[in-house]
Structure 1
Amino acid sequence: MLLKLAWRNIWKNRKRTLITAASIVFAVLLATVMSSVTEGVLYKLQDNVVSFYSGAIQVHKNGYWDDQSLDNSMLINDTLINQLNDHESIHGVIKRLESFALSASEEHTRGCMVVGIEPEAEPIVTKLDNKVSEGEYLTADDKQVLVAEGLAEYLGLGVGDTLVIIGQGYHGINAADKYPIKGLLHFASPDLNKRMVYLPIKLAQQLYGAPDRVTALVLAIDDVNEADKLETELSKIISDKYEIMGWKELMPELNQMLQNERGENVVFLMVLYILIAFGIFGTVLMMTLERQYEFGVLVAIGMRRFKLSIQIILENIFISLLGAAIGTLISIPVVVYFHLYPIEVGGSLQKIYEEWGFEPIYYFSVEPFIFYKQTLIVLIIALVISVYPLLKILELDPVTAMRT
C-alpha cells in the first residue's frame, strides 16, 4: 500500500518530478561517461607503459630486486617453468638476462642496459620486433645486437657498425666484446631510447660467463589488472627461493601517477554528486513545505508518523531511481559506441601522445561497475536526504500544520 501511495504521490506534481529526474539523468550520464573515459584512458596508459619493457609480472631469484647483480641470477629448472606455464592466466614465460655495462664506439662511451632476450618470445610482451626503425630484428643464433636510436646517435653508430660492450660478468669475471649492429630500435620512452642494447640470450650468457642463467622471467598475461591476483596465487605455489613482483612494485611511480589521476577524477565526480544532492534536496524541501497541511491532516486522523515517514522516503527513492535508471540506460549505448569507435586525438596533442609512446586515442571502458556504481551512489544520496522530511514529520504539530 505504501509503495502504491508513494508512486502516485510523485506524479501529483509531474513538472517537479520530471525536472528533478532530468537533472539526475544528466548528472548520471555525465558521471558515467567521465568514469568510462577516465578508466579507459588510464587502463590503456597502464597497458602501454607496462608493455614498454617490464611486463605485468616478473619472477626473480629471491633478493634480486634489492641487489640487481648477475651474482643474484638464477638457473632455470623445468619444475618452475612448468608451474608457471600450467597456470591458465599465463600464456608465455619469457627469459631475460639483464645487466648494466659500458657501451663504446671509437670516440664516445655511455652506460647502457644490456638485455639478453629470446628473440622469438620477447615480442609477446614488448612487441620489440615492431620497434625496429632501421635494419632487421634478431634471430636466436645471431651474433649481432639491437641498439636504441638515442644511444646509437650519441655513439655515432649505425646499422653495420661495431658496438663495444665492457662490463662485469658473473662472479666478477671480465665481460667485454664487440658486436655488429643488426638494427636500431625506436622507443617512445626517452629514457629507454638512450640506454637499451638487446642481444640473443645465449650470446648474453656467453658475454657474461653465465651459461643457462637468467635474471628474470617475464610472464605474459592478457590483462594487466590481473597482475595482483596472479601474484598472490603464484606466491602460494612457487618456492620461496623466488620473488614474484607485479608491475606496481616494478614501477611504483606509474602506480602512483595512476592513483593521482583517479583521485582527480573522484574530485570531479564529487562535484557532480553534490549537484545531484542539491537537486534532490530542492525537490524534497519543496515537497515537504507544500504538503504541510496534508501531513497535518494525516497525523490528526491517526496515521502513524513512522508510516508517513516511510512513504516520504519511498517517494524520494522512486524519483532518484527513476532518474538514475534512465541516465544509466542512456549512458550504456553512448559508452558502448565510443568503446567500439574511440575518439582520436588530433593536432599538437596527438604529437605529444606519440612522442611519449601513447596511442593518441581516448578509450572508453565498459566495465560493469562504472554503470551500477552511479545508481548505487544516487540511491545513497536519496536516503541521506530523506532524513530531512523524516525529522520534519517527527516534529510535526498537526494543529499548526493545518493552519498553514
Structure 2
Amino acid sequence: MYLKLAWRNIWRNKRRTLITLASIAFAVFFASITQSMQLGTYANMISNSVRFYTGYAQIHKSGYWEEKSLDNSFALPENITEVLAGNKSIAGMIPRVESFSLVAYGEKAKAAMLIGIDPMKENELTSLKKRLTKGQYLAGNENSLMMGQGLADYLNVSIGDTLALIGQGYHGINAVGKYHVKGIIETPIAAFNDQAIYLPLATAQFYFGMEDQVTSLAINVDDEAKLERLKAHINNQLGSDEYEVMTWREMMPELVQQIELDYVSGRIILFILYIIIGFGMFGTFLMMAKERTYEFGILVAIGMRRMRLKLLSLLELVMLSFGGVLLGVIISLPILTILHFNPIPISGEYAEVYKKFGIEPVLNFSISPVIFTDQATIILVLSLLLGIYPVWHIHRLRVVEAIRS
C-alpha cells in the first residue's frame, strides 16, 4: 500500500519528477564515466607493467631482487613446478633469464637488456607476438633475437642483420655471441623499446654460460584477489629460505603509490560532483515538502499518524532517487560497454606522455559492477540524509497553520 501511494504521489507533478530524474541520471552517467575511465586506466597500467614484464608474482633466489646478478640465478627444482602446476589459481609459469650486455652493429653500440624467454609461454602472458612490427616471432632454440623498435632505430638495423653481443656471464665469465635479427617489436613501455633484446631461453642460457639456470619464474593468475593467498601457499609448499616469492605490488611500489594517489584525486572530484547533485536534490525535496504543506495538514487533521506520513514521504524520496540511478545506469552501461571493447586511441603530445610513464596510449574504460553499485550506494545515502528535512518538516507541522496555507 505504501509503495503504491508513494508511486502515485511521485507522478502527481510529472514535470518536477522528470526534471529530478534527469538531473540524477545525468549525475550518475557523468560519475560512472569518470570512475570507469579511472578504473580502466589503472587496469591498463597494471596490464602494461605487470602482465607485460614482472607477472603478477615472481619466484627468485633469495637476495636476487636486492642484487640482480646472474650469480643469484637458480635451477628450477621439480618441487617448484609440481607445486605450481597443481594450483588452479595459476594461469601460467614463465621462466626467464635477465641481464645486460653491450650490443653492437657497424660503428654503433649501446647497452641493452637481454631477456631469455620461452617464446610460447611468454606469449601467453604478455601477448608479445602481437607487438611485432616487422619480421617473425621467435620459434624456439634458434640463434636469432627480437629487439625493441627504438633500439633498432638507434642501431639502424633491419630484419636479417647480425648483431654482436658482448657482456659478462655467470660467475664472471665472458659472454660473446652473434645473432640474427628475426623480429622487431614495439611495446607500450619506452624502456623496452629502447633497450630490450629477446633471445630464446636456451640460447640466452648458453650465451651467459648458465645451463638450466633462470633468474626468475614469473607467475600469471586469473584472479588477482587470490594473489596473497597464492603467495602464502607457495611459500608454505616450498618450505625453504632459499627462494623468495614477491607479488607485483612488492616489486613495483611506485606504481601502487601512483594508482592510490590518482584514485584519491578522482574521489575528490566525485565528492564535489555529488555535493552539487545533493544541492539539486535538496532543492527538489524542499519544493515537494513546501508544496504539500496543505496536504500534510489535512492528512494529519483527519487522523493519519505522523510517523506513517514521514515513512511515506521518505519512501517517495528513495524511489525517486533510485529511479534516477536506474535511468543513469541504463544510459551509461551501453556506452561504457562500447568504450570498454573499443578503447579510444590517444595521439600527439598526450600519447608521448603516456609512453614516458610506460602506459599504452589508449583510453580504456572499465565495466566493473562496482562502478554502478557505488552510484546506487551514494545516491541512497544522499537521499536518506536529505530526507531528514521532509521528515523534520512533518514533525514540526502545525495543523491549523498548514490548512490555512
TM-score between the two structures when normalised by the length of structure 2: 0.84
Indicate yes or no: 2:236 matched with 1:235.
no
| Distance in 2 between residues matched to 1:116 and 1:346, nearest whole Å | 32
Q: Does the 8 A contact of 2:285 with 2:317 survive in 1?
A: yes
> 113-122 vs 280-289, which deviates more?
113-122
- 1:376 CA drift (Å): 2.4
Q: Does the 8 A contact of 1:145 with 1:179 survive in 2?
A: no
Which amino acid in structure 1 is aligned with residue 191 of structure 2? Answer: D
- 1:282 CA drift (Å): 0.9
- 1:214 CA drift (Å): 1.1
Per the alignment, residue 29 of structure 1 pairs with 29
Change beyond 3 A, Cα 1:402–1:44: same
Following superposition of structure 1 onto structure 2, how do residues 83-94 of structure 1 map, counting pairs within 5 Å? 83-94=83-94
Per the alignment, residue 311 of structure 2 pairs with 310
Per the alignment, residue 292 of structure 1 pairs with 293
- 1:133 CA drift (Å): 4.5
Q: Does the 8 A contact of 1:148 with 1:185 survive in 2?
A: yes
Change beyond 3 A, Cα 1:144–1:246: same
| Distance in 1 between residues matched to 2:30 and 2:290, nearest whole Å | 31
Where does the alignment leave 5 or more consecutive residues of structure 1 unmatched? Answer: none
Per the alignment, residue 77 of structure 1 pairs with 77
SS in 1 for 2:120: coil
Following superposition of structure 1 onto structure 2, how do residues 1-400 of structure 1 map, counting pairs within 5 Å? 1-104=1-104, 107=107, 109-134=109-134, 136-154=136-154, 159-170=160-171, 173-183=172-182, 185-188=184-187, 189-222=189-222, 226-238=223-235, 239-241=238-240, 242-340=243-341, 342=342, 344-345=344-345, 348=348, 352=352, 361-400=362-401
| Distance in 2 between residues matched to 1:10 and 1:149, nearest whole Å | 63
| Distance in 1 between residues matched to 2:301 and 2:289, nearest whole Å | 17
| Distance in 2 between residues matched to 1:373 and 1:251, nearest whole Å | 28
- 1:398 CA drift (Å): 3.3
- 1:401 CA drift (Å): 3.6
Give per-residue Cα distances to partners, 1:201-258, cap 9 Å, x unaligned.
2233333343222111122345xxx334234224224425433333333333333333
Where does the alignment leave 5 or more consecutive residues of structure 2 unmatched? Answer: none
Give per-residue Cα distances to partners, 1:310-345, cap 9 Å, x unaligned.
2221121121122222222233333334445x2544
Give per-residue Cα distances to partners, 1:264-299, cap 9 Å, x unaligned.
433333333223212221111112222333334444
Identity %: 38
Measured on the aligned residues, the alpha-carbon RMSD in Å equals 3.2
Q: Does the 8 A contact of 1:343 with 1:363 survive in 2?
A: yes
- 1:12 CA drift (Å): 2.8
Count of matched residue positions in the alignment of Structure 1 and Structure 2: 398
| Distance in 1 between residues matched to 2:161 and 2:17, nearest whole Å | 75
| Distance in 1 between residues matched to 2:153 and 2:336, nearest whole Å | 44
| Distance in 2 between residues matched to 1:200 and 1:192, nearest whole Å | 17
TM-score between the two structures when normalised by the length of structure 1: 0.84
SS in 2 for 1:309: helix
